[in-house]
Chain A
Amino acid sequence: MRITVEVNGRTRESDVEPRMLLCDYLRHELGLTGTHVGCEHGVCGACTVLVDGEAVRSCLTLAVQMSGRSVRTVEDLAPEGEELTEIQLAFRKHHALQCGFCTPGILMSLTAEQNRPAPSREDALDSVRGHICRCTGYRGIKRVVEEVFAESDAENPR
């Protein structure tokens, strides 16, 4: 099937089998290997990308579903030559990654939260609940959330 997708701001036209997963399309057709596949059944969250701004499991999504939509992957957070984003810098500071395999997915979920009109720490933490990290024990990731996302109390709206 012929699809037209915007990926990281660039329009891509491709012929894909209807059964091709979005993660395989991104990784093997477009060479965007920053999106990782950890379980292929939608639990671990490593393959999370943004589709029209929303965090989506690319292992449970077909590439053909993306026609006419906009996909954003980890490679687009801080394109070459640009400084790391606030979330990425906080990950490094708090040692929130070790092997780095699950990291892109968590970055995308937190980026989706940050881009909301009123990002909250609770929502950000809730989005991390949808990810498995086997290395870090989560403390660094929690610290990232605490640093980047303000508590959503009345005195401190964001």
Chain B
Amino acid sequence: MTGKATGTPVERVEDERLLRGLGAYVDDLVTPETLHAYFVRSVHANARITAIDVEQAKRLNGVRAVWTGHDLGDLNGPLPLLAPHPDLIAPRTQLPLAVDRVRYVGEAIVMIVADNRYRAEDAAELVEIDYEPLPAVVEFSDSGRGRVHDDVADNVAAVVHQSRGDVEAALAAAPHQLTLDLEIERSGGMPMEGRGVHATWDRRTGRLHVSDSTQSHVAIRQGLSRILGLPLDRLEVVAPDVGGGFGTKIMLFYPEEVLVPLAAMRLEAAVAWTEDRYEHFISANQERGQVHQATVGYDADGKLLAVRTAFVHDTGAYIPYGIAVPAVTGTHLPGQYHVPDYEFTGRVIYTSKPPVSPYRGAGRPQGVFVIERLIGAVAKSLGLEPSEVRRRNFVPEDAFPYDTGLDLHDGSRAIYDSGRYAKGFQLAMGHADLPAFRARQKERRNEGRFTGIGSATYVEGTGVGPYEGCTAALNPNGRIVVEVSVPSQGQGHATTFAQVAADVLGCDPADVVVRSTSGGAGAVGHGTFGSRAAVMAGNAVAAAATTLRRQILDTAAEFFECAVEDLTIDHGLVRVAGTGAGLSLAELATGANPIRYPAGPAAPGPRAGSDAPPIALSATEYFRQRQWVFGSGAHVAEVEVDPATGKTTLLNYVVVHDCGRVLNPLVVDGQILGGLVQGIGGALLELFTFDDTGQPTTTSYLDFRLPTVDDLPPLVLDELQTPSPWNPLGIKGTGEAGIIPVAAAIAEAIEDALEPFGVSVHRMPMTSPRVRHLIATSTPLPKES
């Protein structure tokens, strides 16, 4: 690339519209004619349905349809399993509408369509469902208490297992070993805009148009076509403005994403469903819940020799996403550390809770929590600083590409492409200034204040393949239109991809229009997840723009009767070197098509008056790469804990991250910061809770505490840019990075702060009551004399 737009903090082109209140989110598409869908959901976590009576509801004025699973016919089959895998022993996915069994509170049973939402909710009150409750599987220890699926013994959905080396032998030979029991609890993405679907059916053309608050409209379109039996040419799926995703909206399919389009077809009308926050709490997918028993073997210098973890992963009532999350935990757990012998075994368990699919970080925060808690314990046992143990175990700079010996769940090998782990950590620890902190800590302890420091590092496999496509075209008005398949949920694709294309083409980013909302007929791809959009689609944009540039130059060379090598494009002008001759992109594009429109520019085009065929100034290219590229980073947290209240306050926070080449620092910083504060929420505040019967007990923002402006700590944000050798732009994804090590760093800091109380932090999140409980149940260290 030749240009200068990439790497600079270009302000986002998206913002003006959003700031004026002119965003168009799914629920904004509703008109007075739109019908509204509402779902009657299970009130039991595990129950047989013995009767459903919808007759009264049907008779209510304004109600257009009331459907149970029986009314859906063949369509009420199990929803797709996204990624089959040999490790899946007993894959089960849910029905669009539960028929005779429900497996979590919130599972949809009856669909109501009415003139407006108020009326639909009135009708829901009139639906009567008889249940025969069954024992719910809530905690991991409940596994023997009941069955989520009658035909699945012990509720085991899958077992993920991989190893490198000989862990048994290495642990036996290790001079020291220790084992920790660790627990990370359920949390979730909680986007500010809930889920929503809007569908219209045009009887005249037989076309279905769906707007979906999704991270992958292209995949939804392909899947809907199959499920509804509707040819792709009669089906459009658009992801309009999407109010946050964080993985929650990469689910394929939520039942509502099938049923709302179906209702539009059956009722020949526009039908919308917008969930309310309560529905989101009980029926949107969640993540994180895992318990680990992890063992590390190490030597007297703190060198890690072997790590083994046996964990249990809560996948909820169904497993639509396959083994993605537990597999990522296993493959990412060693992270930046060279652990010669390593083994993970994860039992994936069905529970009576909402299904699990990836939430920002997707299994990595759990893995990092485990390895970093082990390192903390190793350090403690040897009387070393944890940061020193980290330093002694990094994968060295000369080891890249570093083959982990582990396979990712898409079948590719996890090979770290590039990184400077020791350097990044050094940078972070430099900002944190450990010696100065230790001095401060001592002073504060003398004042009766408990402060602590903790660090953590991570790698993040990003740029999940196998491909993304892009179509780039030059319009007769000189504008470049770039079409990609990765919608934005706030990441700013319209800005960053414009920067990439502008640099290739030699024009201003403002002259590039990015379309990422509708999976059009041009290039196709997958969607926005797995920190892949910049890597995969960014490189596809560069490839398509490069081909378009060649077409532009070929056209200009014909017109100027010169060699392509003599041409330059700068600020949207194609010039012949050494002469005054030049054409704007608009003139060139107009001239490339010899038909003259009445109001077209009068400038001489390349083929004006010629009999030659028009030249297509449009290119579709794909970027293919199965190999993930690995971003990395180091965080340091400085906390103060109030033993009386259990409240943890972040005094300082350091982030150093490395996502390769940065396209737009404003956007990258925004991703890192957003992830960081989400991670702080996950470490200290956010927790989905359930009672013994599986009834969710966090169902509003009053009991699920999201971070507010006061939770942003004083912060140093720094970066390395170690380019990836595996894609032309040299970039690595960074959408999820910020969240990954936060819980681990904060756990170590809390443990450090509460050292005098003899506290070990083996659980996340560490809410204030839990910190108090931990202090109350720990044995204080003897006071130093």
Task: Determine if B243 is an interface residue (Cβ-Cβ < 8 Å).
Answer: yes
Contact stretch, chosen from B282-290, B441-449, B488-496, B751-759: B488-496
Considering the chains assembled together, what is the distance between the CA atoms of A78 and B326 in angstroms? 48
Asked if residues A27 and B27 are in contact (CB atoms below 8 Å), the reply is yes
Is B193 within 8 A of A36, CB to CB? yes
Q: How far is the CA of A93 from the CA of B23 in the complex (A)?
A: 18
Q: Which of B19-71 contact A (CB under 8 A)?
A: 19-25, 27-28, 30, 32
Which one of A50-58, A113-121, A132-140 is at the B interface? A132-140
For the complex formed, measure the closest distance between the CB of B706 and the CB atoms of chain A, giving whole angstroms: 5
Measured between beta carbons, the chain B residues less than 8 angstroms from A97 are 15, 18-19, 490
Assess the A33–B24 pair: CB atoms within 8 A.
yes
Cross-chain contact B23 with A95 (CB below 8 angstroms):
no
Dominant SS at the A interface? Answer: loop
Tell which of A62-70, A98-106, A148-156 binds the partner: A98-106
Q: A75, B15: Cβ atoms under 8 Å?
A: no
Are B673 and A27 in contact (CB-based, < 8 A)? Answer: no
Collect the chain B residues with CB atoms within 8 Å of residue A38's CB.
192-194, 277
Q: A20-B118, A88-B19 are in contact. Are A139 and B192 (CB under 8 A)?
A: no
For A142, the chain B residues whose CB sits under 8 A away are 709, 712
Stretch from B365-373, B567-575, B662-670 at the A interface: B662-670
Q: A43-B700, A129-B708 are in contact. Are A33 and B28 (CB under 8 A)?
A: yes
A35 at the interface (CB under 8 A from B): yes
Question: Is B339's CB within 8 Å of the partner chain A?
Answer: no
Q: Given that A36-B193, A40-B277 are contacting pairs, would A92 and B16 also be in contact in the complex, using a CB cutoff of 8 Å?
A: yes
B23 engages A34 (CB within 8 Å): yes
Chain B interfacial residues counted at CB < 8 A: 60
One digit per residue, 1 when the CB lies within 8 angstroms of any chain B CB and 0 when it does not, for chain A 60-87 equals: 0000000000000111011010001000
Q: Which residues of A contact B16 (CB under 8 A)?
A: 84, 92
B residues less than 8 Å from A125 (CB atoms): 709
Whether B241 lies near A100 (C-beta < 8 A) is yes
B191 at the interface (CB under 8 A from A): yes
Shortest distance in angstroms between A134's beta carbon and chain B's nearest beta carbon? 5
Please tell me if the beta carbons of B492 and A98 are within 8 angstroms of each other in the complex.
yes
| Contact B192–A46 (Cβ < 8 Å) | yes
Q: When the two chains form their complex, are residues B709 and A138 in contact, meaning their CB atoms are under 8 A apart?
A: yes
A26 CB, nearest partner CB in chain B, Å: 11
Q: Taking A27-B28, A34-B22, A40-B276 as contacts, is the C-beta distance between A101 and B702 under 8 angstroms?
A: no
A-B contact pairs, 30 of them (CB 8 A): A20-B118, A33-B27, A36-B192, A39-B701, A43-B701, A43-B702, A78-B20, A84-B19, A91-B15, A92-B12, A92-B16, A92-B19, A95-B12, A95-B669, A99-B192, A100-B14, A100-B23, A103-B18, A104-B21, A128-B708, A129-B709, A131-B709, A132-B192, A132-B701, A132-B706, A132-B708, A134-B678, A136-B674, A136-B677, A138-B677
Q: Which 4 A-B pairs have the closest CB atoms?
A: A34-B21, A101-B243, A99-B490, A100-B18
User: Footprint of A on B, CB under 8 Å?
Assistant: 11-12, 14-16, 18-25, 27-28, 30, 32, 116-118, 189-194, 241-244, 246, 276-278, 489-492, 666-667, 669-670, 673-678, 700-702, 706-712, 715, 738
Residue positions of A touching B, CB distance < 8 A: 17, 19-20, 24, 27-28, 32-41, 43-44, 46, 73-75, 77-78, 80, 84, 88, 91-93, 95, 97-104, 107, 125, 128-129, 131-142
